[in-house]
Amino acid sequence: MRRIRTYNEVDHGTGSRLLEQVLEQHERLGARLAQVGAVVAVLSGKGGVGKSFVTAGLASALAASGRSVGVVDADLNGPSMSRMLGCEGARLGDAPDGVVPALGALGVRVMAMDLLQDTPDAPLRWKEPEGGHGALWQSSAETAALREFLGDVAWGELDLLLVDVPPGTDKIGRLLGLVPGLDAAVVVTTPGEVARSVVARSLRMVTEAGVPAVGLVSNMSGFRCPGCDALHPLFPGDAPARLAKRFRVPIWGEFPLDPEAGASMDRGEVDRLLEAGRLPGVHFRALAGALEASLGEARAATQGGAPSVGAPAVGGAP
């Protein structure tokens, strides 16, 4: 049986410098992320549960509290960060040390595939090398694109870099491959059983990888009536509580399905949600606080110091 060759063997005698190129890319990525306080993945494994909604709101809440924040939209095929953060159609700049990210709401720096495309609704098509092998090529092209989004963008110094991870546990594995020192995972779930069974796989993945700060967000935990503001049950199920118990992770945030908030988000007006007193804004700020407290605890634990005050676990319907 033929064995798959390693980079070293492929490189041998071909003059391609393949090994050097790969090592250079890793070094560039490492040097770039050294300027970032914490890399935080917002993930689920499950599609459509509100990962992008949470990423945009969390990034904006962190920025509103004075943090310098970047967002990588790792959803190359269905990007939504530039829309939600209000910088859709922005032009990316070019600096000596990389692509200059777009500026979204509250100064959040954004890198997303649609910012590289001429028309907003163009589907992404990778040109494969002659001879086919399209499926193999696509996966490595997507990994290369994500590595460039992380490593070849002139992020400058950042307190936090958030990554909106598309559905599929394979996408979580891809990110962990590129960023083995991922600092935190914000794991989004809805209440139902189908979400629970998928999100359990993702939680296993990040906890087994040793990600030091992991917390859950319970999204669409009820329906907030736009007329009377009352909270009604929506999906049956207690996925967040069961997952929290099984994986011994806190629930960092809880969001009802709030049609007005969804509409604001989809219009790119996330900053309006953070206006004083507005409910999703209150919840996004609480989530930002829980994440930062947990990151602080994880840092204190690795430095051998006394842990800081525990992350507030947000429980119960708001």
Ligand X SMILES: Nc1ncnc2c1ncn2[C@@H]1O[C@H](COP(=O)(O)OP(=O)(O)OP(=O)(O)O)[C@@H](O)[C@H]1O
* Binding interface with ligand X (CB under 6 A): 47-53, 75, 78, 80, 166-167, 219-220, 255, 257-258, 261-262, 265-266
> Smallest distance, Å, CB 184 to ligand X?
18
Closest alpha carbon to 172 in 31, 304, 41:
41
Q: Which is nearer to Mg ion, 44 or 68 (CB)?
A: 44
Instruction: List the single partner that 218 binds among ligand X, Mg ion, none, CB under 5 to 8 Å by kind.
Output: none
Q: Which is nearer to Mg ion, 250 or 268 (CB)?
A: 268
Give the span between the Cα atoms of 161 and 72, in whole angstroms.
Answer: 7
Cα Rg of the chain, angstroms: 20
Closest alpha carbon to 40 in 304, 309, 292, 315:
292
Residues 25-54 that bind Mg ion (CB under 5 A): 51-52
> Smallest distance, Å, CB 171 to Mg ion?
11
Burial 87-101 (b: 16+ CB within 10 A, else e): bbebeeeeeeebbbb
SS3 264: helix
Instruction: Please identify the residue of the shown chain whose CB is closest to the bound ligand X.
Output: 262
Q: Which is nearer to ligand X, 98 or 167 (CB)?
A: 167
Q: Does 82 bind Mg ion (CB under 5 A)?
A: no
Q: Which is nearer to ligand X, 183 or 258 (CB)?
A: 258
Q: Which is nearer to ligand X, 48 or 177 (CB)?
A: 48
| Binding residues with Mg ion: total (CB under 5 A) | 2
CA end-to-end span of the chain, whole Å? 59
Amino acid at 38: A
Q: Given the rule CB under 5 A, which residues bind Mg ion? A: 51-52
